[in-house]
């Protein structure tokens, strides 16, 4: 009988500790959201700054390269992975005929961290939703 009580108490404690773990996870989620907001700014900075993307990509119209809206729309439609493209792990799907021009940028893009690539994706996607 006593043994059962101990087991029950242990189980109860377990449940409580699990719950607090869950809470922690929720906290982390809030943290990620905050990070996403700054990812937009980081992405914007890279896009207009060291990435020089803006020289060829305007937001809502075609210039040397396709507009960001156009790119994001096609990537959404085809459920494609923008980061994979930037890592040269996926073929171009927007305008393969002029891919050679885009290709010249991979020397710079290669130096970007995983976080910077993610920030670029966040920026390009969110700026298209505005």
Identify the residue among 73, 93, 125, 127 touching ligand HEC (CB under 6 A): 93
Q: Which is nearer to ligand HEC, 35 or 45 (CB)?
A: 45
Instruction: Rule CB under 6 A: say whether 109 interacts with ligand HEC.
Output: yes
Closest distance of CB 88 from ligand HEC, Å: 11
Instruction: Rule CB under 6 A: say whether 127 interacts with ligand HEC.
Output: no
Angstrom distance (rounded) from CA 130 to CA 127? 5
56: left (phi over 0), alpha (psi -120 to 50) or beta: alpha
Identify the residue among 71, 118, 122, 128 touching ligand HEC (CB under 6 A): 71
Angstrom distance (rounded) from CA 43 to CA 120? 4
Identify the residue among 40, 95, 126, 127 touching ligand HEC (CB under 6 A): 95
Tell me the residue length of the chain.
130
Identify the residue among 44, 57, 69, 118 touching ligand HEC (CB under 6 A): 57
Identify the residue among 39, 53, 119, 122 touching ligand HEC (CB under 6 A): 53
Instruction: Rule CB under 6 A: say whether 65 interacts with ligand HEC.
Output: yes
In this structure, what are the phi and psi dihedrals at residue 42, rounded to the nearest 5 degrees? -60, -45
Are the C-beta atoms of residues 39 and 119 closer than 8 Å to each other? yes
Angstrom distance (rounded) from CA 53 to CA 65? 9
């Amino acid at each position: 009988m006593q043994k059962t009580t101990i087991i029950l108490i242990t189980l109860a404690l377990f449940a409580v500790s699990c719950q607090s773990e869950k809470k922690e996870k929720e906290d982390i989620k809030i943290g990620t959201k905050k990070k996403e907001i700054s990812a937009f700014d980081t992405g914007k900075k890279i896009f207009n700054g060291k990435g020089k993307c803006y020289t060829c990509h305007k937001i809502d119209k075609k210039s040397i390269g396709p507009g960001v809206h156009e790119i994001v729309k096609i990537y959404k439609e085809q459920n494609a992975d923008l980061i994979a493209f930037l890592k040269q792990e996926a073929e171009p799907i927007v305008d393969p005929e002029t891919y050679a021009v885009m290709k010249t940028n991979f020397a710079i893009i290669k130096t970007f961290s995983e976080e910077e690539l993610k920030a670029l994706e966040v920026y390009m996607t969110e700026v298209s939703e505005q």
